[in-house]
Amino acid sequence: MIVKMKKLTLLCTRTSRETSLEVLRDLGAIHLQPIRPPEGQGLEEARSLTAHLKRALEVLPKHPHVKPSGKTPHEVVKAVWELIHRRQALTEQIEMLKLDIRHIEPFGSFSPETVKELAENGVSVRLGRFPVKETPAISDGVRLVELSRDRSAVYGALIFRGGIELDFEEIPLPKHSLDELNRQLTELYAALKKTEAEFGDYSGDRAVVARLAGEAEDRVQYLEARNGMANSDDIWYLRGFFPAEQEKALRTAAVKYGWAVLVEEPSAADPVPTLLRNPKWVSPIQAVFKMIGVMPGYHEVDISALFLVFFSIFFAMLVGDAGYGMLFILLTVFGKIRFRKVPQEIFNLLLITSVCTVIWGILTGSYFGLSDIPAPLKQLRLGWLTGSGADKNIMLLCFLLGTVHLTIAHAWNTFRMINTWQALAQIGWIGSTWTMFFAARTLVLGSEFPPAMTWVLAASIILIVLFMNPVQKIKSEWFNYVILPLNVVSNFVDVVSYVRLFAVGAASFALANAFNRMAMDIGFGSVLSGLGASMILFFSHLLNILLSAMGVMVHGVRLNTLEFSGHIGVQWAGLKYVPFRKISATDV
């Protein structure tokens, strides 16, 4: 559910400005909207300090059992930044040295001092790179010594006396030998390793640095709030948004501290932040929203519950293996016990999707891609999903699932628009969606197209054309009529796109089954063959699980955030609700 917001304009005197901000921060409910760009008065310095402290905090390892160093927080930050600069310098030196080594490595190890001594005695040595397919023209008195070659070039040394003019791609003589450069590289790596270890010496101070960073960020937030206010003479004012249930507490504070407040309903043009508040069983889907960084707009609808239900179904069909599902359940339970500080909504989501995967895998008789499963497991399979014509049946199920999914979107819109004529257009889109279901069934699966659906499509298009826009907006929204044929075709494409659930799931099973047969061909007759077969099974199933996870993120998320959201009108353009409040060390 998207929490109802109200718009606030608050006025205070110049002398009570600081106190008012402190009170609002303690209240922790107002999402501030700067009236003017928050700049000046030390804000840039505060931002720079915050970034400085956060960077120090990022590089400190999380080793809670390490004792503090005994230094003050500022001394720790200074020491950490010295290590950061040292690490950066060492890394740059290593990269430069590796580049020098790559340049002279084809010429082998030699002493540049020896080359200089030869030059003093009248013998010149030049390093060169020559094309493999072109024989270099060598003058009399010049000797070419080939040192190495690769697919494109020959690397060699030209040795001669006197001032002979040579035309070739010369490689500058290095200052140090290859052995010396490799020795220097080894020393730099050792110094870098020592520097990395020194970061760990300050891991016991991470809590105090986090507190310092929290205080700095809290200062930045306070200055942004203060500098974002506007004034008229001695009256200062700010604007923001707050949850409607906080109005009583806000008005009580206004009476107590002498504020003048104006509370309004937000307009469609206001940048109202979105605060989602859902039942506990729906909250796991927030892990997906946070991961992909999406938020519905305030004036849109919250599809969290439907997203969770259909995402779980899509997850199950895309992974499609009961063995993988049971493995996921075990890993999830282990994670919930072992990593209690990690947000539990992640593990709860994995638990829901894993259970759905096990159920789907049992119904389709899929266990780690095995071709032959024990008889008791065969009895649990659903014949419609595993018998003759199972592939067509699953594709039909995908089309049906997509049609129901999109129908829910337009039915929801119909309910929202029930008091307007546009509700009839949404009913038209429902009819169009079901027509596309039967069209997909005919074109892809070869089933007969019901003649009655032609009339349904005609009636649906008439409803859409007549009622898609309010009368007063027909002229301004004329382009919607121009692209209507494309939208109808897109409706068909959206229904068909759900077949990806079958395609990815079938590919996952085929891959697992192929590697299983490969491992069985090697067999377990000896220790060596058994080890090889075991390695194939382990890495192939690990690869398949990773590919399945990618499939879920690409396809499972897409069907909800694009196809379904496009039909229901969710553009995911929401602004996250971030109240003005005190920031602690745990927030950074």
When pLDDT is cut at 50, 70 and 90, the band that residue 171 belongs to is confident
The Cα 489–Cα 496 span in angstroms is 11
The Cα 90–Cα 210 span in angstroms is 27
Look at residues 381, 395, 314 and name the one whose alpha carbon lies nearest to residue 349.
314
Range of the domain at 253: 5-62+207-274
According to DSSP, residue 138 is labeled P
CB 60 within 8 A of CB 302: no
The pLDDT tens digits for 376-392 are 888 898 889 988 889 99
Measured in degrees and rounded to the nearest 5, phi and psi for residue 9 equal -120, 120
The pLDDT tens digits for 296-327 are 999 999 999 999 999 999 999 999 999 999 99
Global pTM reads 0.82
Mean pLDDT along residues 239-263 = 94
Cα-trace Rg, the chain: 34
Q: Is residue 166 predicted with pLDDT exceeding 70?
A: no
CB 14 within 8 A of CB 561: no
**What is the structure's pLDDT at 506?**
92
Same domain? 11 vs 57: yes
| Residue 150 within a domain | yes
Same domain? 217 vs 171: no
Number of domains the chain is built from: 2
When pLDDT is cut at 50, 70 and 90, the band that residue 472 belongs to is low
CB 540 within 8 A of CB 512: yes
Q: Which pair of tokens denotes residue 437?
A: 């279901």
Tally the residues of the chain.
Answer: 588
Same domain? 218 vs 165: no
Measured in degrees and rounded to the nearest 5, phi and psi for residue 323 equal -65, -45
| Residue 137 within a domain | yes
Q: Is residue 559 predicted with pLDDT exceeding 90?
A: yes
| Residue 514 within a domain | no
Which of 217, 244, 274 is at the close of a domain? 274
| Residue 358 within a domain | no
**What is the structure's pLDDT at 342?**
83
| Residue 70 within a domain | no
When pLDDT is cut at 50, 70 and 90, the band that residue 163 belongs to is low
Which of 274, 303, 322 is at the close of a domain? 274
| Residue 373 within a domain | no
The pLDDT tens digits for 427-449 are 999 999 999 999 999 999 999 99
**What is the structure's pLDDT at 491?**
93
Residues β-bridged to residue 156: 128, 146
The Cα 560–Cα 162 span in angstroms is 77
| Residue 540 within a domain | no
Which of 274, 292, 327 is at the close of a domain? 274
- Sort residue 157 into left (φ over 0), alpha (ψ -120 to 50) or beta: beta
The Cα 318–Cα 332 span in angstroms is 19
Torsion of CA 531, 532, 538, 544, to 10 degrees: -170
| Residue 44 within a domain | yes
